[in-house]
Amino acid sequence: MSAFIDSLIDDMTVEEKAGQLTLYTSGWAVTGPQLRDDYLEELKAGRAGNLFNAHTVDYAIKLQKMAVEETRLGIPLLFGLDVIHGYKTTFPIPLAEASSWDMDLIQKTARLSAREATAAGVNWTFNPMVDISRDPRWGRVAEGSGEDVYLGGLIAAAKVKGYQGDDLSDPSTLLACVKHFAAYGASQAGRDYHTVDMSDRVLRETYLPPYKAALDAGATTFMTSFNELDGVPASGSKYLMTEILRDEWGFTGFVVTDYTAINEMVPHGVVENEKQAAELAFKAGVDMDMQGGLYSRYLPELIKEGKIKESMLDQCVRRILEMKYKLGLFEDPYRYLNKAREEQTLFSKELMDHSLHSAKESIVLLKNEEVKGAKLLPLSKSVKSIALIGPLADNQKDMLGTWHMSGDASKVVTLLKGIKETAPEVTVHYASGAGFGDSDMTGMDEAVRAASKADIVIMALGENYQQSGEAASRSDIGLPKSQQLLMEKVHTLGKPMVAVVMAGRPLSMTWMEENIPAIVNAWHLGTMAGKAMAEVLFGDHVPSGKLPMTFPRNVGQIPVFYNMKNTGRPFDESNKYTSKYLDIPNDPLYPFGYGLSYTSFDYSNIALSTEELARTDTLSVRVKVTNTGRYEGKEIVQLYLRDLVGSVTRPVKELKRFKKINLKPGRSETVHFKLTYEDLCFYTRDMSFKAEPGKFKVFVGPNAMEGLEADFDFN
């Protein structure tokens, strides 16, 4: 490979080299602030060696032919696309699938997404997005795995393995792209693209590990983030792109910027003009310029002026040509472009079945109280009539969620259709009743009338697909006001009510928690959404999802997350001068790791293998979990650790292990966990990563706020 690439680089002009560092979008999708209509001319001139948002075999063949047959050197194109949660077959949004805590399931979603997308000519996905975030105002929490570094790291690795498989030359695998490097999820006030500023300790302890986990899983490309970090925009940060990513972590793939992120260093105010921006990004260690056209325009000049060395340019070109080589594109530029394979792969049964499975595992039951002596859920299929009320009830498009790209809404099973399929005997009175704004009350009265006819009311409420995702931050994370009003009006009828909440972020549901007996959090679940929700509502599937992100009581409580510090004045209700609000409790509405089942689980007999852990020891933790209810169900048993005293303050809890078990009614299982020295390590006062002697607590339970505890000393 290197001999082939060296000889090719020797043939290339500086313009052609800059072309390989250039990525343009086709006109097929708008995923950023501007398009350029000259991408085909640039491609033919050898000044654009990579495209994104161009897919389907028919279209990609045309473009690949242009590159291979009409350019001087015939170097094949990379075809990138945001395959975030599926290509055509759409899976639950990533934040939803994170609620499954099931790495095999998540890896399989990535594997199947890659199989479908590569059949349409895509050989590079801009995923996994691994940005930790503790702020649900930020719309892009929908694309990530929530607030926790341990869960987020495992999910990042699972997705990379799913996308890339074991052999990049296999035409069903594609390049993964770890984004957005780094710490984009910490943007101030949850406002997208906003400033990020944090200590190196918080950066390394909480935000960097998932990127590193993705790299350790073999990720071949990284994407820079829009935000500045410590005053330097990521695309110009040598600290991130070279010192950490390459020198410390040994990354050998290539770094692409996010959409025109190099150009944006001018408004950031770290350079005066776009030529300086190109130079700053290049020297920081960025290999490829997405959509900005600045590398293509200025690198040849900067080399002539001696500001950058051609040998550095060759190094970037080599990284990109190596990826094309590993994908097998030099051997056969059309290996991803097989029409017959495309037709038989899209929407295949295996994909649709897995989409349904993933959707069911992603649903989180938040509340299920008794009504007339029995738990309201699951609903009986012999109930006479149900009113299904809300703008998300008979809605295909919004089930796809944000970043559904080429998803096909016409294939989506709505909640209304899912209920009719799952409980065909039930009479369903449907009415939308409200919209997604604050004032669209059309149909409110009709909806209330529909509700008055039924025995039970199911509300289908939440966000549309454009109210989360990129450039979709919200200053208030409640239901749209028209829906809140609708729910309160229907509530006055006094019927048993179930709320099914579909959104791309945690919503504040305090009124709902106080007034509605059953609440199901169903995110945006993709193509099979309605079938999955209906199977849960009628008990064909027992929910087991757990929240990957804390649900605040209201937006004023943000940031609120489970692994906070204790402070010097932890809340004490008997003492005014302790850390609290005057108007709400400190605890969130629903904590990280929380989720109910139709059955119940009891935790008992926690036991540690030792109370004195030495450095070379392994600590084994055992706990007995019993299904004390009437349904077979799954429980995600979680193990948290607390380091009581450190040379710096330590979080009150940190997730270190979890295990998803399945138990029949009445059955028990003793769950085993093993902890080692590495699990106790952290960035100490002098930033060395190690464990310090002292007292530790182990917590094992159903979520971050409940469970059994035991103590041990590390020395």
User: Which residues of the shown chain bind ligand GLC in the complex (CB under 6 A)?
Assistant: 31-32, 82, 126, 179, 258-259, 470
Phi, psi of 354 (to 5 degrees): -70, -35
Which one, 12 or 176, has the nearer CB to ligand GLC?
176
Name which of 130 and 392 has its Cβ closer to ligand GLC: 130
Q: Which residues contact 504 (CB under 8 A, 6 or more apart)?
A: 93, 95, 139, 141, 142, 401, 402, 463, 465, 467, 468, 469, 472, 523, 524
Nearest CA to 708 out of 675, 671, 674 is that of 671
Distance from the first to the final alpha carbon of the chain:
51
> How near is the Cβ of 319 to ligand GLC at its closest, in Å?
19
Distance from C-alpha of 675 to C-alpha of 656, rounded to nearest angstrom: 8
Backbone angles phi, psi at 22, to 5 degrees: -120, 135
- Closest contact distance (angstroms) between CB of 188 and ligand GLC is 17
Catalytic residue among 131, 148, 258, 314: 258
Helix (H, G, I), strand (E, B) or coil at 412: coil
Least separation, in Å, of the C-beta of 259 and ligand GLC? 4
Tokens standing for 64?
């690949």
Integer angstrom CA distances of residue 128 from 91, 176, 180, 547, 575: 14, 7, 9, 19, 46
Q: Which helix (H) or strand (E) holds 537?
A: helix 529-537
Cβ atoms of residues 503 and 509 within 8 Å: no
Residue placing its CB nearer to ligand GLC in the complex, 102 or 135: 135
Give CA separation, 269 vs 189, 195, 266, in Å: 21, 13, 5
What would the two tokens of residue 308 be? 């950058």
Q: Which is nearer to ligand GLC, 179 or 474 (CB)?
A: 179
- Got the DSSP string for 27-48? TT---SS---TTHHHHHHTTS-
Q: How far is the CB of 261 from ligand GLC (least distance, A)?
A: 8
- Report the alpha-carbon distance of residue 414 to residue 647 in Å, rounded: 54
Residue length of the chain: 715
- Listed in sequence order, the DSSP H helices in 363-414 are none
Q: Single out the residue of 305, 306, 287 nearest to residue 295, CA to CA.
A: 287
Segment holding 104, helix H or strand E: helix 103-119
In the complex with ligand GLC, which residue's Cβ is closer, 147 or 258? 258
Strand partners of residue 385 = 427
Report the residue number, 225 or 467, with the smaller CB distance to ligand GLC. 225
Q: Residue with structure tokens 């919209």? A: 435
Q: Which two tokens stand for residue 68?
A: 């291979």
- CB of residue 31 vs ligand GLC: minimum separation in angstroms? 3
Closest-CA residue to 135 (of 183, 181, 96, 203) = 183
Contacts within 8 Å (CB) and 24+ apart, 372-376: 372/496, 375/598, 376/456, 376/496, 376/498, 376/517, 376/518
CB of 25 to ligand GLC, least distance (A): 7
Q: How far is the CB of 156 from ligand GLC (least distance, A)?
A: 15
Could you give phi then psi for residue 442, rounded to 5 degrees? -55, 135
Cα 100 from Cα 159, distance rounded (Å): 14
For residue 464, the SS3 value is coil
Query: What is the rounded CA–CA span in Å between residue 17 and residue 13?
Result: 6
Distance CA 70, CA 66 (A): 5
CA distance 377 to 370: 9
Contact by Cβ (8 Å): 233, 197: no
Residue carrying structure tokens 């059953």:
518
Question: Which has the closest alpha carbon to 300: 51, 45, 63, 69?
Answer: 45
Catalytic residue flag (residue 643): no
Report which of 12, 6, 172, 174 is spatially closest to residue 78, judged by C-alpha positions.
Answer: 174
Decide whether 259 or 603 has the Cβ nearer to ligand GLC.
259
Report the 3 state secondary structure along 478-520.
Answer: CCCHHHHHHHHHHHCCCCCEEEEEECCCCCCCHHHHHHCCEEE
Query: φ and ψ at 528, to 5 degrees?
Result: -100, 20
Q: Tokens representing 593?
A: 């790791």
Closest of 550, 519, 465, 595 to residue 102, by C-alpha? 595
Of residues 210 and 543, the one with the C-beta less far from ligand GLC: 210
Which C-beta is closer to ligand GLC: that of 193 or that of 249? 193
Pick between residue 471 and residue 687 the one whose CB is nearest to ligand GLC.
471
CB 594, CB 546: distance < 8 Å: yes
CB of 235 vs ligand GLC, minimal distance in Å: 12
CB of 82 or CB of 398, closer to ligand GLC: 82
Considering beta carbons, is residue 83 or 387 the nearer one to ligand GLC? 83
Q: Which is nearer to ligand GLC, 180 or 367 (CB)?
A: 180
Which residues are catalytically annotated? 258
